[in-house]
Chains A and B, each alone.
Chain A
């Protein structure tokens, strides 16, 4: 039974374009006892963590997703004929980390923290779906409020916002810089 469950879960993760949460798996497999699902998933993860496979299952944005291994990057790029993947611009990265650490946040608050107009960068980030609009602030002008999206977590390989670099890690960087 467990082996059957394992293959089903594997199929569900494979077909998902976004990280698949345990909650969603359980919703789909409602005929099965949740405990069995937990166990089957655990076993599946163990199978995939072996060195014999080119594909791994990683935890990302609170869910599970298939990914290749970092060491195979160059071969994949050769196949797809991609020189390199695009990185975020310095302005985009700055704006993004401002939002990540101060969310929910409005455009004018972001611009104040960065001390520079961030409307253009914000638009780019929205297009890339790394941030999302979550509502309007109840203040004059009712400005839009922004938050980071699940895609933001996946992009940086984070499981949740609590995995953002901590104050200690940041202080360490600052000390090194001096």
Chain B
């Protein structure tokens, strides 16, 4: 049973105002070339009202579209002495944009299918992101090595001229998430490079604690291919599930 009334989707799932508008048009089974602007404006505004606070950075476009819809509605309501020519329909340019957008969405659907087909074929370009630690003859780095490397980087950083513009709060939880995300993307993390990138001493310290936390929980492993070579941090496989 499908009930259009109770079918509500959150604003966040839409890629933009056109996406939302298209969804409403489809839901109402409206002809895109002849949009009942009053109805659709009402529906559209209802979606915006679902959100108590609008995130201006991300959702300003949604507000802009609302303004445009209201503008078009007011244009349509104005009494005119001479009826408008078809090209002068205030909805016209919006319809063109919607049609273009609809085409692009359809093209995306086709590309999604191709992506799925292609992902099943493995090519030489693919490098396995996960390292099987037991397969490699690596030296696991001790805590002392890590600390030593960390202080070496910090010494180097000390010489740099720090000008802190704004104070940012870092938390270990956030850093842990950040490190894990980087590892998932890049498969490993170069210890020296990673700390050289940290903006402030505070951030570097938090990062170091986070890393130690992760090592303790055996979620990552710090290894060297050979003594005196750079330390690399790899993601560990979860022994229970076989992935991380």
Contacts and interface: CB of A to CB of B under 8 A. Distances in A.
Contacts of B15: 90-91, 94, 114, 116
A158 B106 contact: no
Interface in A88-143: 88, 90-91, 93-94, 96-98, 100-101, 113-117
Given A97-B108, A115-B18, A174 B122 contact: no
A174 B100 CA distance: 12
Contacts of B90: none
Contact of A58 (B108, B110, B121): B121
Contacts of B243: 81-83
B182 interface: no
A114 B121 contact: no
B52 interface: no
B108 A94 contact: yes
B55 interface: no
Contacts of A169: 110
A119 B17 CA distance: 17
Nearest to A176: B106
A48 interface: no
Contacts of B124: 14, 16-17, 65-66
Contacts of A156: 111, 114-115, 118
B106 A68 contact: no
Contact of B16 (A18, A68, A115): A115
Interface string B102-116: 111111111110111
B123 A116 contact: no
Contacts of B17: 115-116
B130 A81 contact: yes
Question: What band does the interface of chain A fall in when counting residues whose beta carbon is under 8 Å from B?
Answer: 35 or more
B46 interface: no
Contacts of A30: none
Contact of B106 (A88, A115, A164, A177): A177
B33 interface: no
B115 A155 contact: yes
A1 interface: no
Contacts of A173: 106, 109-110
A18 B121 contact: no
A94 to B, nearest CB: 5
Contacts of A177: 26, 106
Interface hub of A98, A116, A173 (most chain B Cβ within 10 A):
A116
A33 interface: no
Interface in B110-141: 110-112, 114-125, 128-130
Contact of A114 (B16, B107, B110, B116): B16
A170 interface: yes
B237 interface: yes
A11 interface: no
Contacts of A65: 123-125
Contacts of A35: none
Contacts of B89: none
A68 B122 contact: yes
B101 A165 contact: no
A67 interface: yes
Give the 6 A-B CB pairs with smallest separation, nearest first.
Answer: A116-B16, A70-B120, A165-B110, A173-B106, A157-B118, A67-B121
29 contacts: A16-B124, A65-B123, A73-B121, A76-B122, A80-B128, A81-B237, A82-B128, A82-B129, A82-B243, A83-B243, A93-B111, A94-B104, A97-B107, A100-B111, A101-B104, A113-B100, A113-B104, A115-B16, A115-B97, A116-B15, A154-B123, A155-B115, A156-B111, A156-B115, A157-B121, A164-B107, A170-B106, A170-B107, A177-B106
Interface of A: 14, 16-18, 58, 65-71, 73, 76, 80-83, 85, 87-88, 90-91, 93-94, 96-98, 100-101, 113-117, 154-158, 164-165, 169-171, 173-174, 177-178
